[in-house]
C-alpha cells in the first residue's frame, strides 16, 4: 500500500473557512492559490488534514470538492472531501492510513472549488483545513 | 491490497422517490460518463455525509443494506443485484471496490429497493464512479 513517504514532493494548500459561513452548490468557494505548482505536475495522492491530529472531527459534514484543469474540465466532480481523510480516529476516515491515489494532471486550483451542501453552516471551531497534494 | 488510482471521478445521486419493495430506479443520463470506462465505484450513507450535493438526505448505512444495484453493459446485466452496502468504503475497511473496465449503459442500470424498513421517501443513494 502506497503511503505519503513514497512521494518526493508535496504541496499543502491551507484554506481558511469563515466560521458559521453557510454555502451550497450554487455558490461554491474557489480555492485561491498564489502558487500554480499543481498546474505543472501530476498529482498522485491527496490527503486531508485538519488543524492538529486528534483535534478535529468532520462528523458527517457534507463537504464536496471539484478539481478542474485549465480547460475547466472536471477531473474529479463533487468528491466527498472526507474520503481524503487518513486520520484513523475520524468517524469517516477511509479506513485509516489509506492514502487515496490519483493521477490528476495539471490541476488549476484557482478554478477548482469546494462547497458544503445547502443549509449547513460551519461552527466556529473549524476554521482551517489543509489539503496535501503529493506529486 | 490493490486499490484504484483515480483518473476521473463523478458523483451521481439516485433519488428513491416514494419507496416500495422491489421498486427499480434507473440512473439518469450522465453525459460525462457516456462512453467512459468505469473501474471503481463507491457508495456513501448519511453516516458519512449528512446531505448530498443537491441538498437531499442520503440513505442510512442500514438503508444501503436494503438496496441493491444492477449495472448493465450493452444489454447485459453484468453486475446483478450487488448489495449497495458492499460499495460503502467505510464499511469495507476503506477500500474501493474495483471493476474490470466496464462501459456501463447507465440509463439501463438501476437500483432496487429490497426492503423499505430502513429507507425513506426521497432519500438518495450516492455513487462515486471512477472512470477514464
pLDDT at residue A116 tops 90: no
Specify the pairing of strand B97-102 against strand A128-134.
unpaired
Residue A49, phi then psi, degrees to nearest 5: -145, 145
- Residue A115's Cβ-count burial label (10 Å; 0-12, 13-18, 19+) is buried
A 10 A CB-CB count for A70 gives: 12
DSSP code for A52:
S
Specify the pairing of strand A74-80 against strand B8-15.
parallel
Is the Cβ of B10 closer than 8 Å to some Cβ of chain A?
Answer: yes
Q: Taking CB atoms and an 8 Å limit, are B51 and A100 in contact across chains?
A: no
Whole-number mean pLDDT of chain A? 74
**Distances in Å between the alpha carbon of B86 and those of A8, A23, B1, B2, B69?**
34, 32, 17, 17, 10
How confident is the model at residue B72, as a pLDDT? 97
Q: Taking CB atoms and an 8 Å limit, are B53 and A91 in contact across chains?
A: no
The alpha carbon of residue A83 is apart from the nearest alpha carbon of chain B, in Å, by 9
Please list every residue in chain B whose beta carbon sits closer than 8 Å to the beta carbon of residue A83: 42, 89, 128
How confident is the model at residue A50, as a pLDDT? 59
At B62, which helix (H) or strand (E)? helix B61-64
pLDDT at residue A3 tops 80: no
Rounded to two decimals, the pTM is 0.89
Per-residue model confidence as pLDDT tens digits over A5-63: 567 788 887 766 654 455 555 578 888 777 788 999 999 999 876 554 434 456 777 88
How confident is the model at residue A9, as a pLDDT? 82
Q: Taking CB atoms and an 8 Å limit, are B48 and A92 in contact across chains?
A: yes
Whole-number mean pLDDT of chain B? 95
What's the CA gap between A37 and B63, in Å, rounded?
A: 42
- B122, B15 in Cβ contact below 8 A? yes
- Mutating which of B2, B3, B4, B9 best tests the A interface, going by the most A Cβ atoms within 10 A? B9
Amino acid at each position: 500500500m502506497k503511503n505519503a513517504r513514497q512521494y518526493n514532493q508535496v504541496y499543502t494548500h491551507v484554506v481558511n473557512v469563515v466560521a458559521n459561513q453557510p454555502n451550497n452548490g450554487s455558490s461554491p468557494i474557489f480555492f485561491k492559490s498564489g502558487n500554480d505548482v499543481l498546474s505543472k505536475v501530476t498529482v498522485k495522492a491527496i490527503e486531508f488534514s485538519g488543524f492538529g491530529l486528534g483535534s478535529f472531527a468532520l462528523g458527517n459534514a457534507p463537504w464536496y470538492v471539484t478539481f478542474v484543469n485549465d480547460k475547466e474540465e472536471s477531473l474529479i466532480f463533487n468528491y466527498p472531501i472526507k474520503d481524503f481523510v487518513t486520520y484513523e480516529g475520524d468517524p469517516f476516515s477511509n479506513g485509516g492510513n489509506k492514502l487515496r491515489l490519483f493521477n490528476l494532471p495539471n490541476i488549476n486550483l484557482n478554478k477548482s472549488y469546494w462547497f458544503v451542501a445547502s443549509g449547513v453552516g460551519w461552527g466556529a471551531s473549524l476554521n482551517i483545513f489543509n489539503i496535501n497534494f503529493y506529486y | 491490497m490493490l486499490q484504484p488510482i483515480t483518473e476521473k471521478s463523478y458523483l451521481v445521486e439516485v433519488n428513491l422517490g416514494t419507496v416500495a419493495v422491489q421498486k427499480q430506479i434507473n440512473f439518469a443520463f450522465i453525459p460525462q460518463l457516456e462512453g467512459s470506462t468505469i473501474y471503481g465505484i463507491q457508495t456513501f450513507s448519511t453516516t458519512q455525509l449528512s446531505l448530498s450535493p443537491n441538498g437531499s438526505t442520503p440513505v442510512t448505512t442500514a438503508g444501503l443494506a436494503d438496496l441493491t444495484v444492477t449495472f448493465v453493459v450493452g444489454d447485459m446485466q453484468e453486475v446483478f443485484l450487488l448489495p449497495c452496502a458492499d460499495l460503502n468504503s467505510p464499511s469495507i475497511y476503506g477500500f474501493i471496490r474495483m471493476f474490470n473496465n466496464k462501459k456501463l449503459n447507465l440509463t439501463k442500470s438501476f437500483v432496487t429497493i429490497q426492503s423499505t424498513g430502513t429507507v425513506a421517501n426521497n432519500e438518495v443513494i450516492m455513487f462515486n464512479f471512477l472512470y477514464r
